[in-house]
Amino acid sequence: MPLKKILNAEQISSIISRLAFQLIEEHNDFSNTVILAIQPRGVLLAKRILEILIEQSYKVDLGVLDITFFRDDFRRNEKSLKANKTNINFSIENKTVVLVDDVLFTGRSIRAALDALQSYGRPISVQLLNLIDRRFSRELPIQPDYCGIQVDSRLNQKVVVKWMEDDDEDSVYLERNYNE
């Protein structure tokens, strides 16, 4: 299916800056806040946000969380899922955890992340930050606390986020239907 570009590199950069400053406004000194990026695609977004926070002289713990074995389709998936590493070298006990992922679609990945978090402690609260919110496709009652943009798309369409580190460009595309 043909792709329609909905965000370019400059727009993504602007959105990431806005998200970082929203975190600063909400969490002030980050002494009781940690950021957990969901593997694999949330990591790239979280690292970009962390760069801005560091530039603004904030110290924030960043960890990465693999949810592969917590997914509800883990045993049913015909294609093999590739597990990634979890790296959380700090306590999340009684902290505010900001989960970061690139696209919020059905909410099932976030549910898996919440299940995975239980293995690492009991946070005081969990917040969700997404670059893209596909708001009309939710299967679970999960909403982002911090959202880059909302994309209205059909269920048979796909949002494709490309990162310079992996794809040689920063952009977001929407797969278009042939009948558009």
Phi, psi for residue 3 in degrees, rounded to 5: -105, 140
Render each residue's pLDDT in the chain as its tens digit; 180 residues: 678 999 999 999 999 999 999 999 999 899 999 999 999 889 999 999 999 999 999 999 999 999 987 866 555 555 666 677 899 999 999 999 999 999 999 999 999 999 999 999 999 999 999 999 998 888 999 999 999 999 988 777 889 999 999 999 999 999 876 554
Q: How far does the chain reach from its first CA to its final CA, in angstroms?
A: 11
DSSP SS3 for 9:
helix
In this predicted structure, what is the pLDDT of residue 7? 96
pLDDT of residue 73: 59
The Cα 70–Cα 136 span in angstroms is 24
The full set of domain ranges for the chain reads: 12-68+83-155
Please report the pLDDT score of residue 180 as a whole number.
45
Residue 115 belongs to what H/E stretch? helix 108-117
**Fold for the domain defined by 12-68+83-155:** Rossmann fold (3.40.50)
Distance CA 137, CA 106 (A): 6
Query: Are 102 and 44 in contact, with CB atoms under 8 Å apart?
Result: yes
